[in-house]
Amino acid sequence: MAFATARSPELEEALGPGSPIVVFDRVSLAFDDNVVLRDISFTLIKGHTKIFLGASGSGKSTILKLIVGLLRPDSGVIWVNGERVDNRTEADLMKIRTDLGMVFQEGALFDSLTVAENVGYKLLEEGAPDGEVWRRVDEVLGFIGLSEFIDRMPAELSGGQRRRVAIARAMSYKPRILLYDEATTGLDPITADTVDNEIIKLRDLEEISSIIVTHQLRDAFRIATHEAVHDDNGLRIVPADAAKAREAEFIMLKDGGIHFEGHAEELRDSRDPYLRSFLS
Amino acid sequence: MLKQVEQWVKAALLEVQEYVQLVGRVSGAVVTRPYYYRDIVLQFEAIGVGSLVVVSLTGFFTGAALALQTGQTLDRFGARTLVGQLVSASMIRELGPVLTALMLAGRVGSGMAAELGSMAVTDQINALRALGTDPLRKLVVPRVLASTVMAPVLTVIADTFAITAGWIISVTNLGVSTSTYWTQVQEGLYLGDAWQGLIKPVVLGLVIGTVGCHVGLSARGGTQGVGRATTNAVVVASVLVIAVDFFLTPLLMRVLY
Ligand SMILES: Nc1ncnc2c1ncn2[C@@H]1O[C@H](COP(=O)(O)OP(=O)(O)O)[C@@H](O)[C@H]1O
Ligand SMILES: [Mg+2]
């Protein structure tokens, strides 16, 4: 099997702007007799945002783990960045993962390493020169506003800071797809907003395709309906125009299937009783 | 009832299968690159240096007690002067390897299970994989290598402390002269004993390392799961140490003597 380096021009074009970057085709997965996902299909377009909603245990984290190849589906096909990930060996997956950044639920920072070592982990692992790594670590921590915590241990950080370090770690090696698993759950509204802003900034300024898992409607709507602009007045987060807002799509999971799929406005206007109970 | 037994047997067989797979994958990873040298050095230090005190004390007191006990028994046959032979032979062939391994199971096996277990339940193992690191190479290989290589080293140290303690007791308590004791220590030793005393701990160290890592990596269910994994690792590793020693002893006797 060929990898990113060996793509034909035709495939390169097919993977250009407006093309799908993550595709699920009738994916099913069960743990023993607990069916978590049943025939799930969706497509994420390059530079767009998918927001997964659903009660806890509805399979949101499982979907992200399938994308990274940490789990294998029982059936169905998953494409990431033009490569199938559902039937690959761990060695193949390692190469595909260089274009994927995942922010785990609760962060999953390595607690034996400092913040800097966590953020620079992948670059060091790939054998990048030390100076280059620490420069990038500085840059990324500056981007998320945690420069002064560079030498702390994860245990010495607050919950919100830990999530932001997790985001820094996931973006440090410039993947083109970022997956966020409940990056704002359990945070106060002000801290949650700063995390949301990072997600918006990465999407709009670095052209990253994002998949966001949350059950906090407030954060989901904020990410869907805002955009980051960088102009003469500096960097600002402003309400997005209608076309931009339509680039973010919501998917509501329920009982192993997709209960709802649509944009922020459609979700807000929905009369579905289950959605209403979730929204209120 | 029958169904429960069936389920239990199935689960046990699955567990054994997974364990054997892990051992197989570790063997593969030990002979191929990449190696995480820094982690390997750290584990040698943590397991080797960190266990020195425990193992030395265990050896010392076992040797001392052994000398006292055998001194009394040997008196009945008027053979008190043979105490050195008894201490050295039983320590080097049997007690040194087994007691050191039991100490390591308690100290090192539980540590591995707790550390890898908490990494597993907080998704740190998954995070490693997502960042392109094979947890087997980064976490398991260094620990298994360290416990396999350090177990015989620590056993030799325990033996040394035990034989020294035996000497102190013999001289102070049993009235056996220093030269008699050390002559007997040497008399009691065959080349086969030395090999047995080195090969056993290699196997036992391998068992402790792989069991600790396997149990840790398969921990599920939050902090409670980590607690369970830690206890399980100690219990399983300790019982296996004694069982493996039992089966290894006749095998080595046939091969080495
Ligand atoms: N490794 C696993 N083994 C067994 N069951 C699992 C595992 N991971 C998740 N599950 C089960 O799958 C379901 C979905 O889990 P998850 O995707 O974590 O839900 P969510 O992230 O939406 O809260 C839950 O019922 C959970 O118990
Ligand atoms: Mg989850």
- Assign residue A220 the CATH number of its domain: 3.40.50.300
Tokens of B171: 């001289």
* In a domain? residue A129: no
Range of the domain at A190: 47-61+175-279
Q: Are B51 and B107 in contact (CB under 8 A)?
A: yes
Find chain B residues with C-beta within 8 A of A97's C-beta: 129-132
- Ligand 1, atom 6, lies closest to the CA of A31
Cross-chain residue pair A65–B127, CB shorter than 8 Å: no
Domains in chain A, number: 1
* In a domain? residue A88: no
Give which of B55, B166, B143, B145 is closest to B100, Cα–Cα: B55
Average pLDDT, chain B: 93
Q: In this prediction, what percent of chain B has a pLDDT beyond 90? A: 80
CA angle B244, B245, B251 (to 5 degrees): 90
- Ligand at shortest distance from the CA of A52: 1
pLDDT at A231: 84
Q: Which of A88, A89, A111 to substitute to test the interface with B, most B CBs within 10 Å?
A: A111
List the single residue in B with minimal CA-CA distance to A92.
Answer: B132
Average pLDDT, chain A: 88
Tokens of B114: 């707790």
The bridge status of strand A100-103 relative to strand A209-213 is unpaired
Q: Give the pLDDT mean for A244-257.
A: 90
Q: Quick check: B29 pLDDT over 60?
A: yes
Is any Cβ of chain A less than 8 angstroms from the Cβ of B41?
no
Tokens of A107: 């962060």
Find chain A residues with C-beta within 8 A of B126's C-beta: 65, 68, 70, 104, 108
Q: What residues does each domain of chain B span?
A: 35-250
pLDDT at A2: 38
Give the SS3 label for residue B145: helix
Which residues are bridge partners to A226 per DSSP?
A239
Tokens of A256: 């192993």
Q: Quick check: B33 pLDDT over 90?
A: no
Nearest CB partner across the interface for B123, out of A98, A104, A169:
A104
b or e along B22-40 (b: 16 or more beta carbons within 10 Å of the residue's beta carbon)? Answer: bbeebeebeeeeeebeebb
Alpha carbon of residue B253 to chain centroid? 20
pLDDT at A3: 44
Q: In this prediction, what percent of chain A has a pLDDT beyond 90? A: 50
Give which of B135, B148, B146 is closest to B214, Cα–Cα: B135
Cβ-based neighbours of B42, under 8 Å, separated by 6 or more: B142
* In a domain? residue A255: yes
pLDDT at A6: 62
State the distance from the centre of ligand 2 to the C-alpha of B243, rounded, in angstroms. 42
Sequential DSSP letters for A15-46: TSTTSEEEEEEEEEEEETTEEEEEEEEEEEET
pLDDT at A14: 67
List the single residue in A with minimal CA-CA distance to B124.
Answer: A108
Q: Which of A72, A89, A102 to substitute to test the interface with B, most B CBs within 10 Å?
A: A102
pLDDT at B57: 97
State the distance from the centre of ligand 2 to the C-alpha of A105, rounded, in angstroms. 6
Question: With helix as H, strand as E and coil as C, how does A154-184 read?
Answer: HHHCCHHHHHHHHHHHHHCCCCCEEEEECCC
Find chain A residues with C-beta within 8 A of B132's C-beta: 94, 97-98, 122, 125-126
Q: Write out pLDDT tens, residues A179-207.
A: 999 988 877 888 788 889 988 988 998 88
- ipTM of this complex prediction, to 2 decimal places: 0.88
Q: What's the CA gap between A170 and A154, in Å, rounded?
A: 15
List the single residue in A with minimal CA-CA distance to B132.
Answer: A94
b or e along B52-72 (b: 16 or more beta carbons within 10 Å of the residue's beta carbon)? Answer: eebbbebbbebbbebbbebbe
Q: Give the pLDDT mean for B184-190.
A: 86
Q: Give the pLDDT mean for A211-235.
A: 89
Q: Give the pLDDT mean for A31-59.
A: 92
Find chain A residues with C-beta within 8 A of B133's C-beta: 125
Give the SS3 label for residue A242: helix
Q: Which of A34, A67, A71 has the most ligand 1 atoms within 8 A of CB, as the residue to mutate?
A: A34
Q: Write out pLDDT tens, residues A13-29.
A: 666 677 899 999 999 99
Q: Quick check: B83 pLDDT over 50?
A: yes
Cβ-based neighbours of A268, under 8 Å, separated by 6 or more: A221, A279
Cross-chain residue pair A102–B124, CB shorter than 8 Å: no
Q: Write out pLDDT tens, residues B159-177.
A: 999 999 999 999 998 888 8
Q: Which residues surround ligand 2, an ion (CB under 5 A)?
A: A 61, 105
* In a domain? residue A30: no
Q: What's the CA gap between A266 and A120, in Å, rounded?
A: 41
Q: Which of A27, A28, A31 has the most ligand 1 atoms within 8 A of CB, as the residue to mutate?
A: A31
Work out the number of other CB atoms within 10 angstroms of the CB of residue A254.
16
Q: Give the pLDDT mean for B3-18.
A: 92
